[in-house]
Structure formats: C-alpha cells, structure tokens
Amino acid sequence: MSVTAAKGFTAAGIAAGIKQNGNPDLALVVNTGPRRAAAGVFTSNRVKAAPVLWSEQVLKSGQISAVVLNSGGANACTGPRGFQDTHATAEKVGEVLGRGAIEVAVCSTGLIGVTLPMDKLLPGVEKAAAALSEHGGEKAALAIKTTDTHHKTAVVSRDGWTVGGMAKGAGMLAPGLATMLVVLTTDADLTDAELDKALRDATRVTFDRVDSDGCMSTNDTVLLLSSGASGITPGYDDFADAVREVCADLGRQLIGDAEGASKDVKVEVINAATEEDAVEVGRSIARNNLLKCALHGEDPNWGRVLSAIGTTKAAFEPDRLNVAINGVWVCKGGSVGEDRDLVDMRYREVHIVADLAAGTETATIWTNDLTADYVHENSAYSS
C-alpha cells in the first residue's frame, strides 16, 4: 500500500542501472491532485547533499507535484556538478509529467562523494513515469532500499481519509531533525501550514528519537504530500495523531532493520526535570558503545548506563538514580539494586528505564546494540 494507500497518488519503482547489481534503484511518486500541498523536514547536518538543498527550495512554495528518489548514490559532497545533476533530474521529471521542475522534490541515498550516472538515471525517469500506477507503492518502497533487508511501509486509515508512507534507512541512523528517506502521502485536504505543523510535531517524537548508531546522515528527508482526493478535512488533532502513528511505525521498522543489530533497545527516561533533559540522557545512553556491546552480550550492565547518564548536563543526583532493565530494578539509589541474574535478555527487544528522580518529564529513544556484524558491514562495504 505504502504511498499509494491514500487516493490521489501514483507511484513506480524500477531498475535504472544505477546499482551495479541490477536491483531496483529509482522510485517516482506523483500527486494527481486535486491539491498539491506539502511539507518536509530535512537533516540538520550542515553538510547537506545536493538533493536536500534542492528539495528545501522546492518546499518554499508549499507545493510538491512529484518526488523522484534514487538509491545507489547519495549525491552528497559532489560540488556544483552534484547540484546540476539534481536539477537535471527534476527537469526531466517535470518534462515527462508536464509539470514545472520546481514542483519536483529529489531524494538520493547511497555512497557519499560519488557523482550519479546521469546516463542511466535520466532514461530511468522515463521508464518510471511509464510504470506509474495507483498500485505502485510497494515497488517504490523496494526501489529506495540500500542496506535495508526489507522495505518499510505503514498506513493508517480513518473516517474516509488515509495517511500512508514508505521509508528506507539501516545505517547512518541518528537524525538530528528528520531521518533517512521517508515519503508520506494523504488524501485528507489540509493546507501546507497544517501539514508542516503535523509533520514537525510527529517527527520530533518519532524519527528524531531514533538513534541507531549516532551517525547523522547528509541526506535525511521526510516529505508529507496531500492530494486532498478524499474531499475530507479532518480535525487537526486527529490528523496529527495519524501522521504521528505512521511515523512511529516507520521509525520502529528502521530500528528493527538496523545494520548488524541483534537487539532493538527502547531507552525510556522518566522523572526528568525537563523533556530536554530526558532526551539528552536517553541519547547519551543510546550512544554508549560499551553499553551497546554489553546488550549484545545479553549482559544487563547497569554501571555503563550510570556512566552514560553521568556525562550529561541533566538535573539529577547520582545517589537517587534508578535503572530497570527488562523490568528488573538492577540499580536503586545509584547503587546495587535487585539481582541482575533475574534479568531475561533472550529476546530481541530490550527495555531500559532510567529514573532520574528529578521531575515528571519523560522521553523515549530507540537504539540498537553494537555488534561484530555492524563492524563487518561498515568496514567491508564502502557506504
């Protein structure tokens, strides 16, 4: 279902030959209207890929007619030539669809520092346009995979309207604002300002709290397109809730397919003085390599949780900290708590609760363990 679950969208995914192994590598998503309101959030990495710089310009009008996405090359750190290539891609899409290039968002993912094979990409756009279909969402989701082992889609339908989407991402997975490549579509009829608010509200507590490996991408992009084809304008809170649900679903899928990971780790920080404190502490725990190794070894090593908390500026007293791992309070009052041998670590999902005993705020960060497979995948493969 993916991006074509909502009415008013067509999509396609094809093999243009950008990837040397012949796998699908080019996706096209087209808004057939009647409306074309859109919103987007992008990486906060200051080294931004050419397609990010382009799509930020496109979004200034609050309208997107189509999104073209390629895997097999990030078109990041490619200089003026890279930006020209992105522009030429948008021009080509505009030409075959009979739209202006400035209505076409572009997303790329793959190796940094390599220019795209435009002799394959541009003919690929024609091939994708010819394959556009109201049932093309799955194929589009397949074509944006890089090291993902499976494609990621999510759909929420409510009273006559739908929000759906697709995502890719398996490494360099620690968005500062958005994450990876995500395209969301809806047939609900909303203004670009409403879409923007709903999207920012959702990504702040979903994608922005995914931190698999602490490495922020140069290409992260999340787009939300509205066709208005349902003819329905839902209440804002209801719509924002649906967008958040789709984002949370896709974010959870990203963590579940992270490179080399054997554990999905939910780090829940409770009783923080502020939400910012809770996020800072959660992220510090999520980025602690020693803890991530211990979790891989199914070792409920709460000492590494405390040493991670201790590096933050959050409000807390060391002798009031409590930590639970999979429901066992292994650390109480900053010292030894319940018997660590009671912790059952056999399952893929691990739940860490860090109680700061400093207030009432909370935040949850999702991360993964650190494994030899992650090292292998990222040392043997240039990505």
Q: Is 216 near a second copy (CB under 8 A)?
A: yes
Is residue 322 a contact residue for a second copy (CB under 8 A)?
Answer: no
Say whether 146 counts as a known binding-site residue.
yes
Q: How many CB atoms lie within 10 A of CB 125?
A: 26
Tokens of 6: 């909502």
Residue 21 in contact with a second copy, rule: CB under 8 A: no
Q: Does 87 bind a second copy (CB under 8 A)?
A: no
Query: Tokens 């709460």 correspond to what residue?
Result: 302
CB of 225 or CB of 353, closer to a second copy: 353
Contacts (Cβ under 8 Å, ≥6 apart) of 11: 2, 3, 4, 27, 28, 29, 30, 132, 133, 136, 137, 139, 140
- CB of 165 or CB of 334, closer to a second copy: 334
Interaction between residue 61 and a second copy (CB under 8 A): no
Distance CA 369, CA 65 (A): 40
Among 87, 168, 244, 304, binds a second copy (CB under 8 A): 304
Single residue of 17, 62, 77, 100 touching a second copy by CB under 8 A? 77
Give the pair of three-digit tokens for residue 69. Answer: 């996405």
Which of 86, 162, 179, 185 is catalytic? The answer is 179
45 is in an annotated binding site: no
Distance CA 105, CA 87 (A): 10
Among this protein's residues, is 311 annotated catalytic? no
Nearer to a second copy, 100 or 176 (CB): 176
Q: CB burial class (10 A; 0-12, 13-18, 19+) of residue 2?
A: buried
- The Cα 245–Cα 162 span in angstroms is 12
- Distances in Å between the Cα of 322 and the Cα atoms of 271, 275, 286, 340, 365 are 10, 18, 17, 13, 17
DSSP, res 224: E
328 binds a second copy (CB under 8 A): no
- Give me the half-sphere count of Cα atoms (radius 13 Å) on the Cβ side of residue 190: 28
Binder of a second copy out of 331, 352, 353, 358 (CB under 8 A): 331
Does 342 sit near a second copy (CB under 8 A)? no
Of 104 and 309, which has the nearer Cβ to a second copy?
309
User: Which of 23, 307, 326, 364 is in the footprint of a second copy by CB under 8 A?
Assistant: 307
Residue 303 within binding range of a second copy, rule CB under 8 A: yes
Question: Which residues, including other chains, have CB under 8 Å from residue 296's CB and lie 6 or more apart?
Answer: 262, 263, 369, 370, 371
Q: What are phi and psi of 41, to 5 degrees?
A: -125, 150
Q: How far is the CB of 108 from a second copy (least distance, A)?
A: 13
Single out the segment in contact with a second copy by CB under 8 A; choices: 123-131, 161-169, 239-247, 329-337.
329-337
Give the binding site for a second copy (CB under 8 A): 44-48, 74, 76-79, 81-82, 111-115, 171-172, 176, 213-218, 287-290, 293-297, 299, 301-304, 306-312, 316, 318-319, 321, 331, 333-336, 370-372, 374-380, 382-383
Q: Which of the residues are catalytic?
A: 179
Q: Which residues are annotated as a binding site for substrate?
A: 146, 168, 179, 259, 378, 383
